[in-house]
Structure 1
């Protein structure tokens, strides 16, 4: 036990010495203030956050032969994750790519904290102040924030929550039945029109919507009125351009290929209705 404690103390002293050297090198390069902030954030969460790209660059310059193996040895699987971010048409939503699969099939939308209780990752993300919506795609997580919250403050916490989840070994859903159902799966009792709608949504429309960090859910078709009901998810929910996408893009495509369709309407959930009322 004593040997383990000594080993941890030795590693901490080694890292502290390296980062002090990094800070001196950064000051020479004129990057002192920005690196100082990054170093302070790093120590505030040590040893649970990986070094920033700037710290990696300077550490490699100081000890190029051992810096990579040092961090890999101390951080393990969680520290080897490289999470990328991608902007969306919705300025309040951001895509996070963990470099690992998220949803095996379909997608999952969590419009409020209560709905997130079925997923450890979604629950952890909702535990961050300022998060208003979470969405899972095939290989990305879309997070939506409140307007008065800054991404600069949220990103480190979101990165940590995603890394914590993947290192924990927990399932994405506590109950397998809570996983996404395939709304566009074609069933035997589907009419020809419904089957064509689902096919177009799955093959032509959904991929484009998912590229923007969202998804579209089929909610039904009324043969008497010719109206298709859809629900926008993820970054597309509440996006200023979602109505344009729905009418100019999706509606036009469905009406072009399926003459029976007369229009497309967006179905709102409870949270979206509240936002519309405000």
Structure 2
């Protein structure tokens, strides 16, 4: 992975490449999300966060994602990182210097992979694998996965790809295939994985299952 850094005032931000050339991880050297992650696929969805809103105000930014200690920014293909980076560095540094909350409304975000009392053994195993084996690898690439459900009859696990993983078809296919193979290997009841896409109108579209 390629590393770069930007510095202003007393803050030092590192950048790290992702499998998606149009997505970069920006690491401010401090926690971003204490629990879970947040994905902002549009400027409208970013209105709930001062930082996401500021990043979307940079011309060419198309998606923002918050991880535990990084912010992944996705750009339009025709825009150069050389043009965008200084503005993104400035937006992140300005946000942390003003000590604003990450969200306008205080959010208590529960983990989507938390195991509940009414989860059966199969669902509990799926969630544990996602949390301990799969999620760390996806986060290393500047994204995350969100568990959306398991259909007992079909054996299909529904997942949503976030951050860098959602913007690059080739990396998403690779990750999804790897996730599906691991789940099917460790949990024989799993027969496949469906990727869920949320549109701005909050409707869900289901993609075809992978054949891996």
**Same fold by TM-score greater than 0.5:** yes
Please, which of 116, 119, 140 is the counterpart of residue 49 of structure 2?
Answer: 119
Tell me whether 1:238 sits opposite 2:167 in the alignment. Answer: yes
In 2: Cα distance, 1:154 partner to 1:225 partner = 45
Greater helix proportion? 1
What is the CA distance between 1:190 and its match in structure 2?
Answer: 1.1
TM-score calculated relative to the size of structure 2: 0.89
Tell me whether 1:261 sits opposite 2:193 in the alignment. Answer: no
Are the aligned partners of 2:74 and 2:167 in contact in 1 as well (CA < 8 Å)?
A: no
Please, which of 239, 248, 252 is the counterpart of residue 181 of structure 2?
Answer: 252
**Structure 1 residue ranges, 4+ long, deviating more than 4 angstroms after superposition:** none
Mapping 1:216-227, distance limit 5 Å: 216-227=145-156
In 2: Cα distance, 1:143 partner to 1:128 partner = 11
Are the aligned partners of 1:205 and 1:250 in contact in 2 as well (CA < 8 Å)?
A: yes
1:169-225 deviations in Å (ceiling 9; x for gaps): 111111123x54311111111111111111000000000000000001101100000
Classify the secondary structure of the residue corresponding to 2:167. coil
In 2: Cα distance, 1:140 partner to 1:181 partner = 19
> Which 5+ residue runs of structure 1 have no aligned equivalent?
1-48, 51-78
Q: CA RMSD in A?
A: 1.7
Map of 2:102 onto structure 1: 172
Where relative contact order (Cα < 8 A, 6+ residues apart) is larger, the structure is 2
Map of 1:83 onto structure 2: 13
Are the aligned partners of 1:110 and 1:134 in contact in 2 as well (CA < 8 Å)?
A: yes
What is the CA distance between 1:162 and its match in structure 2?
Answer: 0.3
Classify the secondary structure of the residue corresponding to 1:236. helix
Tell me whether 1:101 sits opposite 2:45 in the alignment. Answer: no
Are the aligned partners of 2:20 and 2:165 in contact in 1 as well (CA < 8 Å)?
A: yes
TM-score calculated relative to the size of structure 1: 0.68
Are the aligned partners of 1:98 and 1:139 in contact in 2 as well (CA < 8 Å)?
A: yes
Tell me whether 1:182 sits opposite 2:111 in the alignment. Answer: yes
What is the CA distance between 1:238 and its match in structure 2?
Answer: 2.2
Tell me whether 1:151 sits opposite 2:81 in the alignment. Answer: yes
Please, which of 52, 57, 62 is the counterpart of residue 132 of structure 1?
Answer: 62
